[in-house]
Amino acid sequence: MPTIHLSIPEAIYEKLRSKSEEMGIQVTDLVKVFIRKGLEEGREEKESVQKYEESIAFLEAKVAQLEYLVAEMGKRLREEEQEGELEPEVIKP
């Protein structure tokens, strides 16, 4: 198993030592737990970002479809108004 040497501030070491005593494990084992947890959270965050990006792309496509449909409906209404098939309706607030 590879070994790394890490220098950390005394205050952080004391917090690690206190927490490891509380949990009944060695400081090095607690550090391994925190490293593993950090790596897993990083992967989960990446997956979450990817899901959000996919959702945004889907919503952008839906918005583009709606914009196209609204434009087409407006075009048809104008055509029908010009042909006299439809009387414009004035909507008062």
Walk along the chain (93 residues) and give the pLDDT tens digit of each residue: 788 888 999 999 999 999 999 999 999 999 999 999 888 887 777 777 888 888 999 899 999 999 999 999 999 888 887 877 666 667 776
Q: How far apart are CA 70 and CA 78, in angstroms?
A: 12
pTM of structure: 0.47
Please say whether the beta carbons of 30 and 16 come within 8 A.
yes
Which runs of E-coded beta strand occur in 1-93?
none
List the domain boundaries for the chain. Answer: 10-82
